[in-house]
Amino acid sequence: MTLQQALERIQPVSKDRLDAVQARIDRQAKPPGSLGRLEEFACRYVAIRQREQIRKKAIFTFAGDHGVTAEGVSAFPREVTPQMVLNFLRGGASINALASFAGAELNVVDMGVDYDFANHPGLLHHKVAPGTANFAQGPAMTRAQAVTCLETGIALAESAAARGFDLLGTGDMGIGNTTPSAAIAAVFTGLSPAAVTHRGTGIDDATLAHKIAVIEAGIKINAPDATDPIDVLAKVGGFEIGGIAGLILGCAACGLPVVVDGFISTAGALIASELHPQVRDYIFAAHRSVEIGHSHMLQRIGQEPMLDLQMRLGEGTGAALAMLLIEAALQGYRDIATFDAAGVSEGDAQ
């Protein structure tokens, strides 16, 4: 489906369904609310998907290179992006270990890596271009390329829904991609780049100051329009960020819950939720990154992270862990007896 068709299909999650699921949880043999946010996860998942079990789940790790790396904003060279993608395909990365543990299929999506990959069963070829342009000197991409990124992600979500997947997760790979993510955060939150920009792969103080200056310059040169999310993506974004945004939009259009990973994935979620406010109904925020801008981004989209483990890797690693919590919550939803069925007396509400 096109971007416009996806936006037209997105509906808020039914309040009646949410209330009905919560009523069942409240009848279970335990003090009301005693399982804390696990109850929230179960309630939201069942209301969104209208199922009590997850048949299949998948993580989509979107990869792309960034022209802004020419400004020296990362501790790692650009060549690491394809090297890490090849490591994903060999099964040797952190996301491989955690996705396997979570029982999630891993799909690596080449949205714009500056490398020609051979065919591989775990790799999806959707290269828009071999890396974005340097947004410190002009737009990162054209508006048409931004729409292509969004519609690629939408198509992947639509295909996953048709193949019986009930839960998707997002991930990223792209050297330098905390720089466009921080720029997106600054544009939508109205905060200064200094308030939302952090160390990424571990840069020193001098490089951090330079990175902030690069973002400030890029925003000034490009003047992205905060009321036009596609313009923001095109001016200061990344191909993989656009793919993530599209996947999230597609999940909302198809009635699929989506677990959003960390800082870069949340930049995609920001784009998606600014395009349609109801998108946030379908998002599970996996974790709080140590990147200082992440909390501001989560606040903007109205999400409380499921985990806070001091992680900052990306790839979809936080999403894989959060999927396990959703499954635990659903296990409780299915298996915990009601007070009546268990022959347990209910307490008096005080």
Strands 258-260 and 105-112: unpaired
Determine which one of 151, 240, 315, 327 is catalytic.
315
Burial class of residue 202 in the structure, from the number of CB atoms within 10 Å of its CB (0-12 exposed, 13-18 middle, 19+ buried)? exposed
CA pair distance 10, 281, nearest whole angstrom: 10
For the record, the structure tokens of 131 come out as: 């890396």
Beta strands in 34-187 (DSSP E): 57-64, 105-112, 123-125, 167-173
Reading the block at residue 294, the tokens are: 């992440």
Alpha-carbon torsion (251, 232, 260, 247), positive or negative = positive
* Pick from 249, 335, 327: nearest CA to 55: 327
Our answer to whether residue 105 is catalytic in this structure is no
| Calpha distance 213→22 (Å, rounded) | 48
User: How many residues does this entry show for the chain?
Assistant: 350
| CA 321 – CA 317 distance, rounded (Å) | 7
DSSP symbols for 203-231: --HHHHHHHHHHHHHHHHHH---TT-HHH
258-260: strand order across its sheet: 123-125, 105-112, 57-64, 167-173, 258-260, 283-285
Q: Do 305 and 39 touch, CB atoms closer than 8 A?
A: no
Residue 134 to residue 68: CA distance in whole angstroms: 4
SS3 284: strand
As a whole number of angstroms, the distance between CA 254 and CA 9 comes to: 8
Are the beta carbons of 303 and 279 closer than 8 angstroms?
Answer: no
Catalytically active residues, by annotation? 315
